Amino acid sequence: MSNTGLIIEERSRDIGDFLVGRLLPFRKKRMVGPFIFIDHMGPTELGPDHYMDVDQHPHIGIATLTYLLEGKITHEDSIGTHQIIQPGSVNWMVAGKGCTHTERTPQQARNNREVFTMHGYQIWVALPKNLEDITPEFHHIEAASLPKWSDQGAQYTLVAGQAFNKTSPVPVHSNLFMIAITTTAAHTFVAKDNVKGEIGICIVDGSITACDQILMSGNMLVSKIEDVCTINIAANSHILIFGGEPFPEERHIFWNFVSHSKEKIENAKQAWEAGLFPKVPNDSSYVPLPKPPSFGK
Q: Is residue 60 part of a domain?
A: yes
Q: Is residue 177 part of a domain?
A: yes
Domain that holds residue 100: 8-244
Q: Is residue 272 part of a domain?
A: no
Confidence of residue 223 (pLDDT cuts 50, 70, 90): confident
Q: How far apart are CA 84 and CA 279, in angstroms?
A: 19
Q: For the chain, give the mean pLDDT.
A: 87
Interval 206-230 mean pLDDT: 78
Q: Is the pLDDT reported for residue 138 higher than 80? A: yes
Q: Is residue 108 part of a domain?
A: yes
Q: Is residue 100 part of a domain?
A: yes
Residue type, 73: I
Interval 19-46 mean pLDDT: 70
pLDDT tens digits for range 247-263: 999 999 999 999 999 99
Interval 110-128 mean pLDDT: 94
Q: What predicted TM-score, i.e. pTM, was given to this entire model? A: 0.88
Q: What is the CATH number of the domain that holds 115?
A: 2.60.120.10
Q: Is residue 110 part of a domain?
A: yes
Most confident range, picked from 10-14, 90-94, 220-224: 90-94
Counting the structural domains of the chain, the total is: 1
Q: Is residue 295 part of a domain?
A: no
Interval 150-162 mean pLDDT: 97
Q: Is residue 107 part of a domain?
A: yes
pLDDT above 90 covers what percent of the chain?
Answer: 71
